[in-house]
Amino acid sequence: MNSTPTNSRWSAYLQLVLARLRELIREPEVVFWVFGFPILLALGLGIAFRNKPADVTAIVIVENPQAQDTLTMLQHSPQPASFRATVLPRDTALNGFRLGKYDLVIETNSGGSLEYLYDPARPESVLSRALINDALQNSAGRKDPLLTKAVVSSEPGSRYIDFLIPGMLGMNIMNAAMWGIGFGIVDMRQRKLLKRFVGTPMRRSDFLLALASSRLVLMLIEVGLLLGFGALFFHMRVLGSLAAIILVGTIGAISFGAIGLLTAARAQKIESASGLINLVMMPMWIFSGVFFSYERFPVIIQPFIKVLPLTALNDALRATILEGAPLFAHPSRILIMLIWGAVSFLLALRFFRWT
Amino acid sequence: MPLAIHCRDLRKTYEGKVEAIRGLNLSIETGECFGLLGPNGAGKTTTIEILEGLLSSSSGDVTILGRTWKRNERELRELMGISLQETRLSEKLSVRETLTLFASFYHRPRPIDVILDQLQLTEKADSWVGKLSGGQRQRLAVATSLVGDPKILFLDEPTTGLDPQSRRQLWDIIREFQKSGGTVLLTTHYMDEAERLCDRLAIIDHGQIIAEGTPADLIDRLGGHHMVEFEINDNSPLDRWRSLPGVESVRHDDGLVALSVHEPHLTIPALLDALSKQRSQLLHLSTRQASLEDVFVNLTGRHLRED
């Protein structure tokens, strides 16, 4: 550096990227959010979604002379492993049911007829009743008139974890871009560093480009970590090409970076900027299908949900990762992100304060 | 050769209400060290930031080295170095990294090692900015303004809050820059800084220049180079002392009577004589060289650092 007499066109840009990356990597909080958070998230999800045997339904049989017969019938049914039955006095049985310890209470009447006590509001209770009824009827000699065959399917790609990881990826891209750009700029403005930079021959476009580039580098690391963990721990099948995933992520990151730039256009204090950034992101955390599908919201607000940039990003990521859709298979989603990005960027340029 | 800095009838009104600058004219020669001296809130920072092209003026013209901000911004940025009143450089970057970053903005920067050596920061080159002392930070701030090899240096309150040793170090650096042919414009509310460092000064109060000239000129204009200050046990009218030999002006100052005189050896015996005649008891008597502070008090009736 010292021996070079003149600087080239891009030396300022390169130094700005380098300085920003150094600063970020030397900040413990950033290291945590970029590297630690995806790992912790993956670990947490790993514990929550580890491979468990199919749920065993716990039922209780009210103690009376016929109770033992019912238990024997159940144990001789074709699928004795899928339930756990206990015989208890009536009061204890009902109390256990009320506390959710048992999904179903069976009382055998002296005439041999059965009485099921279940809670229609508890899915496992409804399921248990159907299951136990089938088991008992089959055991008693019921013949099904229709011949059926059940095929087991828990293929990677259709599980909740497969739905969740692209959503987390989308949310992480939004968080990182909004905070990295928005917070970073307001912090530098508050420290009068923006003003100091503007007092040099530095090109303002180089500065913004460098800020965005340094964030993109971190985004690539985050995407890699999350997908890597998904593939390693949950045998998540990444169907789309890595290039397509990175491209979708980059478009999302640039779009959110522009929105972050707009939120930071005027704020002089970090406090006011953080409020604004959270205000912009909160509706998307809820509506944009990060943790659950937005199809659950009323149909009437679906069109509004679909034009949110995070919805578009999540949908595009899911289509790319889970279905292997090529980039231009979903032009409307890409377009939504690009429009949000472009409009925010133009507005930001119009209102931005360097000093 | 064009003037280094020239501005005419500069005005700045904030939000249509506060008039921060009210018609300022400045002509600063190349190679000069020019000081804007005034109390806080006088309009020094507003003035220097308009000249630096960081703030727009409400009206008036500014030319720097014969160029204007409107037409030659990039060229001007290459020619000047600035140090703002308060910039918090990134704490997690080292001194060398910070200077390398600033150097990359200029077309033809000076070598980092030379700057480090000149500003006595070589030892701290690899320390993070967050670990530097106040004086070292301020030297680094000035270093970032020198790294582009500027022709003009703008320094806003460069030594505020520094210990005496750090201040002297910075003064040496500024003098060295001036010796190599550079022009300096600085603001300060320290009169000793202005007296020692500046070739010429403008004293600013309420957004206007109330006096301009070399430090010696300004003190000369007081009439006397010496101040005689005394306190007595009764209140005689001030006019009583104006007729003493050698007295140029008279004022009250913190319970003292301050006489601006050019020949203390004539004034003091006459003063003592007068006091014994009116049977007043002398509680305090001192003499000292007149300073820019006296000039300011004489012009405004207030002290520079009254805030």
What are A33-81's pLDDT values in tens digits?
777 877 787 678 767 766 555 567 888 999 888 888 888 888 877 665 5
Q: How far is CA A230 from each of CA A34, A78, A219, A225, A242, rounded to the nearest angstrom?
A: 16, 37, 16, 9, 14
What pLDDT digit, counting tens, does each position of B257-282 carry? 888 888 888 888 998 888 888 888 88
User: Cβ of A16 under 8 Å from any chain B Cβ?
Assistant: yes
The rounded distance, in Å, linking the Cα atoms of A246 and A173 is: 11
Quick one: A119 and A251 in the same domain? no
Residue B116 pLDDT: 96
Examine residue A7 and state whether it is found in any structural domain, yes or no: no
B93–A15 CB contact, under 8 Å: no
Quick one: B29 and B140 in the same domain? yes
Counted domains in chain A: 2
Mean of the per-residue pLDDT values of chain B: 90
Domain that holds residue A171: 15-49+159-351
Counted domains in chain B: 2
Examine residue B294 and state whether it is found in any structural domain, yes or no: no
Examine residue A5 and state whether it is found in any structural domain, yes or no: no
Quick one: B192 and B284 in the same domain? no
B104–A195 CB contact, under 8 Å: no
Whether the pLDDT of residue B81 is over 50: the answer is yes
User: CA angle, A21 as apex, A15 and A26 as ends, to 5°?
Assistant: 125
Quick one: A212 and A117 in the same domain? no
- In the predicted model, what is the mean pLDDT of residues A145-161? 72
Examine residue B148 and state whether it is found in any structural domain, yes or no: yes
Taking the CB of residue B78, how many other CB atoms lie within 10 A of it? 18
Pick B2 or B21 by higher pLDDT: B21
Examine residue A146 and state whether it is found in any structural domain, yes or no: no
The rounded distance, in Å, linking the Cα atoms of A262 and A278 is: 13
Quick one: A113 and A256 in the same domain? no
| Banded pLDDT at A2 (limits 50, 70, 90) | very low
Q: How far is CA B161 from each of CA A260, B133, B137, B138, rounded to the nearest angstrom?
A: 36, 12, 12, 10
What are the chain A neighbours of B77 within 8 Å (beta carbons)? Answer: 199-201
User: Cβ of A6 under 8 Å from any chain B Cβ?
Assistant: yes
Whether the pLDDT of residue B307 is over 60: the answer is no
- In the predicted model, what is the mean pLDDT of residues B133-142? 93
Please choose, from the candidates A200, A78, A222, the residue with its C-alpha nearest in 3D space to the C-alpha of residue A136.
A78
Domain that holds residue B253: 223-289
Quick one: B279 and B182 in the same domain? no
What pLDDT digit, counting tens, does each position of B164-193 carry? 998 999 999 999 999 999 999 999 888 888
Q: Which three-class secondary structure state does DSSP give residue A2?
A: coil
Nearest to A23 among B87, B92, B102 (CB): B92
Which of B188, B215, B242 marks a domain boundary? Answer: B215
Structure tokens at B28: 């600063």
What pLDDT digit, counting tens, does each position of A201-256 carry? 999 889 998 998 998 988 888 888 888 888 887 788 888 888 899 999 999 999 99
Residue B89 pLDDT: 94
Examine residue B302 and state whether it is found in any structural domain, yes or no: no
Whether the pLDDT of residue A158 is over 80: the answer is no
| Banded pLDDT at B18 (limits 50, 70, 90) | confident
B78–A191 CB contact, under 8 Å: no
Quick one: B118 and B178 in the same domain? yes
The rounded distance, in Å, linking the Cα atoms of B297 and B253 is: 9
The rounded distance, in Å, linking the Cα atoms of A295 and A314 is: 13
Examine residue B238 and state whether it is found in any structural domain, yes or no: yes
Quick one: B119 and B254 in the same domain? no
CA torsion angle B169 B175 B181 B185 (round to 10): 100
Quick one: B58 and B20 in the same domain? yes
Examine residue A320 and state whether it is found in any structural domain, yes or no: yes
Quick one: A260 and A307 in the same domain? yes
B105–A12 CB contact, under 8 Å: yes
Examine residue A175 and state whether it is found in any structural domain, yes or no: yes
Quick one: B119 and B201 in the same domain? yes
What pLDDT digit, counting tens, does each position of A93-142 carry? 999 888 888 889 998 887 778 889 888 888 888 888 888 888 888 888 88
- Looking up residue B114, the CATH number of its domain turns out to be 3.40.50.300
Quick one: B190 and B271 in the same domain? no
Quick one: A68 and A87 in the same domain? yes
Examine residue B299 and state whether it is found in any structural domain, yes or no: no
Examine residue A197 and state whether it is found in any structural domain, yes or no: yes
Tell me how far apart the 2 most distant CA atoms of chain B are, in Å. Answer: 75
Quick one: B256 and B170 in the same domain? no
Quick one: A317 and A213 in the same domain? yes
Quick one: A269 and A297 in the same domain? yes
B84–A196 CB contact, under 8 Å: yes
Q: Is residue A12 a contact partner of residue B109, using CB atoms and an 8 Å limit?
A: no
Residue A55 pLDDT: 65
Examine residue B263 and state whether it is found in any structural domain, yes or no: yes
Structure tokens at B90: 């990134």
Closest Cα in chain A, distance from residue B48 (Å): 12
Examine residue B45 and state whether it is found in any structural domain, yes or no: yes
- Looking up residue A89, the CATH number of its domain turns out to be 3.40.1710.10
Give pTM, 2 decimals: 0.79
Quick one: B151 and B36 in the same domain? yes
A199–B113 CB contact, under 8 Å: no
What are the chain A neighbours of B87 within 8 Å (beta carbons)? Answer: 191-193, 195-196
Quick one: B203 and B57 in the same domain? yes
Closest Cα in chain A, distance from residue B91 (Å): 8
- Sign of the CA dihedral A245, A251, A254, A256? negative
- Looking up residue B271, the CATH number of its domain turns out to be 3.30.70.100
Examine residue B160 and state whether it is found in any structural domain, yes or no: yes
